[in-house]
Amino acid sequence: MKRNDFREKAHSVLDEIMDNIAEMEKKAGSISEDVKHEYDKKLARLKEIQKDLSTKLDDYETITEGRWDVVKDSFGDFMDKVYEAWKESYHKAKSSFK
């Protein structure tokens, strides 16, 4: 994966996570009390994922081109894991509205 492709993909995932967190925060007031605690935990987990990704992207921006070849596979694996964790947490939390 090229460095710029990775940067674009990572920022796209981060933007999507942030948009969905904002959407869920808006809806948090309309859920019933019996599921609110669980919903809040899932929302907190999404925020954790978003924070971890932001931190990794900040680290990524400081990597020199020579080091990029060394770390690109681990960053790609990290991005895949973050994206899967985000999708799973988001869908579980969103199901609280059903």
Query: Residue 47: which residues within 8 A CB-CB, separation 6 or more?
Result: 21
With vertex at residue 84, the alpha carbon angle to CA 13 and CA 30, rounded to the nearest 5 degrees, is 80
d(C-alpha 31, C-alpha 27), whole Å: 7
Query: Residue 28: which residues within 8 A CB-CB, separation 6 or more?
Result: 36, 39, 40, 43
Looking at the chain, how many residues does it have? 98
- pLDDT per residue over 19-47, tens digit each? 888 888 888 778 778 888 888 888 888 88
- pLDDT per residue over 48-84, tens digit each? 888 888 887 888 778 777 777 777 777 677 777 777 7
pTM of the full structure: 0.65
